[in-house]
Amino acid sequence: MIVERSASIETPHSSNATRNACRLCAPLGAVWAYRGIANCVPLLHGGQGCATYIRRYLIGHFREPVDVAASNFSEQTAIHGGAERLATSLHNLAAQYNPSVIGVASTCLAETIGEDLPFLVRRTLGRWKGDGPPPATITASTPSYAGDHASGYRAAVRAIVEQLGGDRPGSDHRIGLFPPMVSPADLRSLAASVRAYHCEPITVPDPSEAFDGGAWADLETLTAGGTEVRDIAAIGSACGLVGFTNPAPEPAPQDLLHERYNTPSVTLPLPVGLTACDQWHSALETFSGTSMPRAIEAERARLLDAYRDGHKYVAGRRAALYGETELILPLARLLWEIGMVPAICATGGDAKGLRRELDSLAPAGAEQIQVLSESDFMDLDAGIDAYGVDMLIGHSRAYHLAQARHLPQVRIGFPVHDRMGAARIRMCDYAGTLELFERIANACIERAQDGNSVGYLTM
């Protein structure tokens, strides 16, 4: 009998308490998604502290103004319910901002006391007392005890598609995209690739301009950009839908639309790395009926050339990856592709989906990797001792760990609070992969250079 060897070993959280968790709260992900809808204001049904916490993280990462409303629970609200405060909040937002959409997300306290968010919103709209008609609303359940920021984002995107999506007549040269929480620069790269095949993207959501816009001449209550509601309403009539790896058991947005409208759809790995980018462009060729443009062929050739040039620096190096599953998976796939070892993969959430995907992606004969489930940075620190790594790849919250261990840190993902340009960090498509590969290779060179007393100037 042949016993198949698993590519990964899951290590549960090692303590009864979590210190400096590798995760953020679920409503943050919902706010991220809602900011990608044109003229949408996010509203948290819960305490003011939740909105302040989320604004602090988003503003620190993107260095852009971010408004997040809250229904402002009090002690009395926590006992008797927040229906009245929610109704007041919806009316105030409609009057002050005149939004096209209000995206409502629940918080831990609202879910704990059993608030029925969809019912409360419907009742408020049925008794609307505003000067004009009520704005469209989206409701999503996002308690943090049931997930992390990535799961909150996924819940909000599903809510957007279920509550706004349709099959109204639209151009058959549109392609619907459902990206995870990637940078505005990556969103622009994905959209540019779609346009290179003479199609128009409908990106759900698209906060690229809201989170990486230009300077304002005057105060803007609603930031520019975002996907128009009319485009979301027509997404079912697109010539194709592209979603990316879904580690959750819930159906992905593209699957919901395919089932509802029979729209052609495909689920791909996030296009990070040569193989994943090839799959992405193959899908675009299929949906558009167009061959790969020469400009994109040139980007692919440059990436291959960089792989050849940098292989001697990265081959055999070991890295610790940390963050949400949607970030770890493409990074692990890239490391395997360039000859590195993703020795540790740490997530603050449930690692079941992560481990399943890693086992399916691992090349034959790959070293067994350690998956840290529901982890914090103390777990990651212990993992570095046990399994040894040459660098850390993830967001900036591992800075003190990198400093203490004298390890280079490649910053990517969310949040990056200690460097400029987080909104413009790319990893998607051939050009984005090239940028990330060179950052990783240079981190390997830096470690070799700084650790050698000779101080080589040529590597």
pLDDT (tens digit per residue) in 321-380: 999 999 999 999 999 999 999 999 998 877 778 888 888 888 888 888 899 888 888 889
What local confidence, expressed as pLDDT, does residue 1 receive? 29
Q: Are residues 71 and 106 in the same domain?
A: yes
Is residue 346 within a helix (H) or strand (E), and if so which, with residue range?
Answer: strand 341-346
- CA distances to 139, 158, 203, 244, 309 from 300, rounded to whole Å, are 41, 33, 23, 20, 14
Which of 138, 164, 190 is a domain's end point? 164
Q: Are residues 14 and 78 in the same domain?
A: no
Q: Are residues 12 and 152 in the same domain?
A: no
Q: Which DSSP symbol is given to 325?
A: H
Choice between 188 and 246, residue whose per-residue pLDDT is larger: 188
Is residue 341 classed as helix, strand or coil in its secondary structure?
Answer: strand
Residue 432 maps to a domain: yes
Q: Are residues 12 and 45 in the same domain?
A: no
Calpha distance 346→24 (Å, rounded): 14
Q: Are residues 124 and 14 in the same domain?
A: no
Q: Are residues 15 and 69 in the same domain?
A: no
SS percent in the chain: helix, strand, coil, step 5: 45, 15, 40
Residue 184 maps to a domain: no
pLDDT (tens digit per residue) in 418-457: 999 999 999 999 999 999 999 999 999 998 888 777 777 7
Task: Please state the separation of Cα 269 from the chain's center in Å.
Answer: 13
pLDDT above 50 for 4: no
Residue 177 maps to a domain: no
Residue 251 maps to a domain: no
Share of the chain above pLDDT 90, in %: 72
Residue 186 maps to a domain: no
What local confidence, expressed as pLDDT, does residue 305 receive? 98
Residue 226 maps to a domain: no
Spatial contact of 135 and 94, defined as CB atoms under 8 Å apart? yes
Range of the domain at 92: 26-164
Spatial contact of 153 and 30, defined as CB atoms under 8 Å apart? yes
pLDDT (tens digit per residue) in 217-255: 887 888 889 999 999 999 999 999 999 987 777 889 999
Strands (DSSP E) along 39-87, which ranges?
A: 40-45, 69-70
Check which CATH number belongs to the domain holding 326 and give it: 3.40.50.1980
Residue 90 maps to a domain: yes
Calpha distance 146→151 (Å, rounded): 8
Residue 191 maps to a domain: no
Is residue 203 classed as helix, strand or coil in its secondary structure?
Answer: strand
Number of structural domains (the chain) is 2
pLDDT (tens digit per residue) in 289-319: 999 999 999 999 999 999 999 999 999 999 9
pLDDT (tens digit per residue) in 49-86: 999 999 999 999 999 999 999 999 988 888 888 899 99
